[in-house]
Amino acid sequence: MTHTHLLDDLRCSSCLTLNVLWLDLVRALAECTECGQTALIVTDPDEGRTA
């Protein structure tokens, strides 16, 4: 079972290529398969339930 998801209709901010970003929820990381740029994501354990 894979924990990565393709982020459709999003563009890499580094190389500007469309539809190449993958989200890895286990590592809390987004990665571009074209240029290799990575970014850590901020997870919300509360999922926006509190104001």
Instruction: Give pLDDT tens digits for 3-13.
Output: 789 999 999 99
Largest distance between two CA atoms of the chain: 38
Q: What are 5's strand-pairing partners?
A: 23
Please report the pLDDT score of residue 50 as a whole number. 75
Please report the pLDDT score of residue 51 as a whole number. 62
Report pTM: 0.75
How confident is residue 19, by pLDDT bands cut at 50, 70 and 90? very high
* 47/6: higher pLDDT: 6
* CA of residue 6 relative to chain centroid, distance: 8
Please list, in sequence order, all residues whose beta carbon lies within 8 angstroms of the beta carbon of residue 37, skipping any fewer than 6 positions away.
12, 13, 14, 15, 31
